Amino acid sequence: MKLDKLFICQAFFLYRNRKSEMKMEQTQLPNWLKKRAEVTPNRIALIVRDESYTFGQLYAYSLEYSRKFNQFGIRKGNKVGLLLSNRFEMVVAIHAIMNIGGELILFNTRLSSNELSWQFQDSELDFLLSEEKYGDMIQEMNSAKVIFVENVPSLLENDEFVAVEEFTLNQIATIMYTSGTSGFPKAVEQSYGNHWYSAVGSMLNLGLQENDRWLCTMPLFHISGLSIILRGVIYGMTVILHEQFQEERVNRDIVKYEVTIVSVVTTMLNRLLEQMKEKEYPSSLRCMLLGGGPAPLPLLEKCREKGIPVYQTYGMTETASQIVTLSPEYSIEKLGSAGKALFSAQIMIHYDGREAKANEIGEILVKGPNVTKGYRNRKTETELAFENGWFKTGDMGYLDEEGFLYVVDRRSDLIISGGENIYPAEIEAILMKHEAVFEAGVTGCADDKWGEVPVAFAVLQNNVLEKDELINFCKKYLASYKVPRDIYFVEELPRNSANKLLRRDLKKLIRKD
């Protein structure tokens, strides 16, 4: 009898719970691409390899893919991995899975097959969409079905398929892996709301013009690339998509397509300017969005001479792209600053358990509806990453009197190499796997082409070991951009009194060699 009552009571409160959830702000928006195809069907959505597609066409393609994927067995709620290069089919596949209501897990195609295997397992994939050139990379898929986009015919029988009508903002749309202090990748959950607020925040900062065309050379498996594709659909804006960064093509297309916005990192911007030589950019180019750390003065001055408006930005996978930006009018005056938080977001500097004063260095905390709710299946890491609703970036910095952010030290001694984030701990863990290595430390060294490259320092066991052997060992486990450019064998690593590795002091060891 008592039990009965309890059950009724539970049932009632579960119902209340559900009702309260329903009543709560379960904000929904129309399916973005579907809606966009209704509102402006004839606008150009995408230009890839000089082929143009309208929003109407892009949606039609995405429906065809959805139907086909549905035939393959993909259903609402399925976890669908993407291991694809920047190609038309990747954009279509992203929208097709959103039409079905599946979750997208975007994998970095530059990872080693070992790294990929680990992420495939961790993400509990139901399906993997890939292309034939990555066939070798796909090992140990267990239960997940693999579909190569080359095998998705472009004409299909008229099978019934009804796209999801609405996106719920707190539903997870995409997942991307990011490493961190631990060196182990974590799956960042990005909701539809995170992407929406990221797009809106960027628009409130940069404005939105009828003639806007955003050139994307960033990989779509990174948030810097994916966010451009999603903005395109939300804004009704043309995106010009390149498979990869090639300075000649970028400079050509900026002129050819009257591009208004380009996303770059420092090394790309350098290469663009070099290739451009004395030539001028057209006045239609209204924004060079520069990520991946503060730009050096000579580069900014060169851009000013050429009349290129540079917007520096700071952001990460966890913030669904930019969260802080510096407008061109401040780029020289506030040299080295990342700017101010976007309208919908906030920054705080945390020092010694309190909010830091102006110019006081502390950890950078961010907050806003574009910030992830956490890491999938990593309760502890998620709890550690948040404090009172603020996300702890792990980066160190300060705000000046006017509220401009200066990032003084990236999280976990992060190395940024050609726009890719490299976490030293991840490489160190691999080096230490080798039986001859006693301990190892990795840091970034300046590089003309990539900005930074990783360099390793190893203390050996008694054994003798060739540098090349250890580098080859790394190649087995790591994406090539993470493989140390050089390895120094040293007697000991610099550590502080608490025995913590001082990565910034590693470089000093080079002279001794």
**Which spans of this chain sit near a second copy (rule: CB under 8 A)?**
2, 5-6, 9, 13, 16-17, 20-21, 24-30, 35-36, 38-39, 169-170, 193, 200, 203-204, 207-210, 234-236, 340-341, 343-346, 368-369, 403
Q: How far apart are CA 289 and CA 262, in angstroms?
A: 6
For residue 316, which of 392, 402, 208 has the smallest C-alpha distance? 392
CB of 208 to a second copy, least distance (A): 5
**How far apart are the C-alpha atoms of 243 and 220, rounded to whole Å?**
9
User: Is 438 in contact with 459 (CB distance < 8 Å)?
Assistant: yes
Angle, CA 336 vertex, CA 331 and CA 338 arms, to 5°: 75
Residue 65: closest CA among 43, 89, 86: 89
CB of 186 to a second copy, least distance (A): 20
- Is the Cβ of residue 5 or residue 279 nearer to a second copy in the bound state? 5
Residue placing its CB nearer to a second copy in the complex, 15 or 72: 15
Nearest distance from C-beta of residue 207 to a second copy, angstroms: 5
Considering beta carbons, is residue 185 or 374 the nearer one to a second copy? Answer: 374
Decide if 164 contacts 100 (C-beta within 8 A). yes
Q: What is the smallest separation between the CB atom of 17 and a second copy, expressed in angstroms?
A: 5
Closer residue to a second copy in complex, CB, 228/509: 228
CB of residue 36 to a second copy, shortest distance in Å = 7
Q: For a second copy, give the closer residue by CB, 29 or 502.
A: 29
Least CB distance to a second copy at residue 56 (A): 11
Q: What's 257's DSSP letter?
A: T
Q: Pick between residue 13 and residue 72 the one whose CB is nearest to a second copy.
A: 13
Q: For the CB of residue 33, give the shortest distance to a second copy in the complex, in Å.
A: 11
Task: Compare residues 73 and 403 and give the one whose CB is closer to a second copy.
Answer: 403
Between 207 and 282, name the residue whose CB sits nearer to a second copy. 207
> How many Cα atoms occupy the beta-carbon half-sphere of 205 within 13 Å?
26
Q: Which residue, 179 or 202, is less far from a second copy as judged by CB? A: 202
**Nearer residue to a second copy within complex by CB, 30 or 183:** 30
For residue 492, which of 460, 470, 462, 463 has the smallest C-alpha distance? 460
Contacts 24+ apart (CB under 8 A), 301-307: 301/332, 302/273, 303/269, 303/273, 303/331, 304/331, 304/332, 306/273, 306/276, 306/280, 306/281, 307/280, 307/281, 307/283
CA distance 191 to 39: 24
Indicate the residue among 29 and 445 with the shorter CB distance to a second copy.
29
349-358 long-range Cβ contacts below 8 angstroms, 24+ apart? 349/397, 349/398, 349/399, 350/387, 350/390, 350/392, 356/398, 356/399, 358/398, 358/399, 358/400, 358/401
* Minimum CB distance to a second copy, residue 166 (Å): 8
| Per-residue CA distances from 473 to 149, 434, 483, 486 (Å) | 32, 8, 9, 13
State CA 68 to chain mean position distance. 28
Q: How far is the CB of 341 from a second copy (least distance, A)?
A: 8
Nearer to a second copy by C-beta: 139 or 359?
359
Phi-psi region of 232 (alpha: psi -120 to 50; beta: other; left: phi over 0): alpha
Q: Least distance (Å) from a second copy to the CB of residue 97? A: 21
Q: Which residue, 426, 422, 394, is CA-closest to 410?
A: 394
Smallest gap, in angstroms, from Cβ of residue 123 to a second copy?
A: 23
Q: Name the packing angle between helices 88-100 and 55-72 (round to 10°).
A: 70
Burial category of 382 from C-beta neighbours within 10 Å (exposed 0-12, middle 13-18, buried 19 and up):
middle
Could you give the CA distance from residue 238 to residue 260 in angstroms, rounded to a whole number? 10
Supply the minimum distance, in Å, between the C-beta of residue 165 and a second copy.
8
Residues 260 and 308: beta-carbon distance below 8 Å: no
Q: Please, which residue, 35 or 213, has the CB nearer to a second copy?
A: 35
d(CA 149, CA 301) in angstroms, rounded, equals 44
What does the alpha-carbon distance between residue 321 and residue 224 come to, in Å, rounded to a whole number? 6
Q: Which of 349, 340, 299 is nearest to 322 (CA)?
A: 340
H helices present in 317-453, as ranges: 379-385, 424-431
Find the shortest distance in angstroms from Cβ 91 to a second copy: 19
